[in-house]
């Protein structure tokens, strides 16, 4: 099984927080930073204030799946850190997906060919 491209080390998270750009919405805060690799990596941060471990891991699983399904539509070579906010624990999958893609679009991460396909619809 192929390894999931994720950010795990605290130093990597700190680098993205300090040097990256951030945008937010009511459910998420998204930090991005170019990583010089040929793939995107995802880091997820969920505070204990959001809920117990079952709730936090459920949201993390949803975010990994959203990243996996949408990664082909994004430009490559970025570290993406998503910070989950409190209202996300009650949000449905579709709303989380919309928030993630909206923030990716505001960060200009959506690949060019995908933007042209959306305009023609």
The domain spans of the chain are 10-119
Query: Using CA atoms, how far apart are residues 11 and 14, in angstroms rounded to an integer?
Result: 5
Confidence at residue 113, expressed as pLDDT on a 0 to 100 scale: 66
Confidence at residue 36, expressed as pLDDT on a 0 to 100 scale: 86
Average confidence (pLDDT) per 10 residues, the chain, 121 residues? 81 93 93 90 94 93 92 91 93 94 91 56 45
Tell which CATH architecture fits domain 10-119: 2-Layer Sandwich (3.30)
Please name the residue ranges forming H helices in the chain: 10-19, 53-70, 93-106, 112-119
Confidence at residue 63, expressed as pLDDT on a 0 to 100 scale: 93
> Does the model's pTM come out above 0.75?
yes
Confidence at residue 5, expressed as pLDDT on a 0 to 100 scale: 84
Confidence at residue 121, expressed as pLDDT on a 0 to 100 scale: 45
């Amino acid at each position: 099984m192929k390894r999931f491209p994720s950010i795990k080390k605290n130093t990597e998270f700190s680098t993205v927080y300090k040097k990256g750009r951030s945008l937010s919405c009511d459910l998420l805060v998204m930090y991005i930073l170019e990583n010089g690799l040929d793939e995107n990596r995802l880091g997820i941060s969920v505070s204990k204030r959001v809920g117990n471990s079952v709730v936090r891991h459920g949201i993390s699983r949803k975010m990994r799946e959203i990243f996996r399904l949408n990664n082909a539509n994004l430009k490559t070579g970025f570290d993406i850190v998503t910070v989950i906010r409190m209202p996300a624990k009650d949000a449905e999958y579709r709303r989380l997906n919309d928030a993630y893609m909206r923030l990716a679009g505001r960060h200009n991460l959506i690949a060019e060919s995908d933007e042209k396909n959306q305009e023609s619809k």
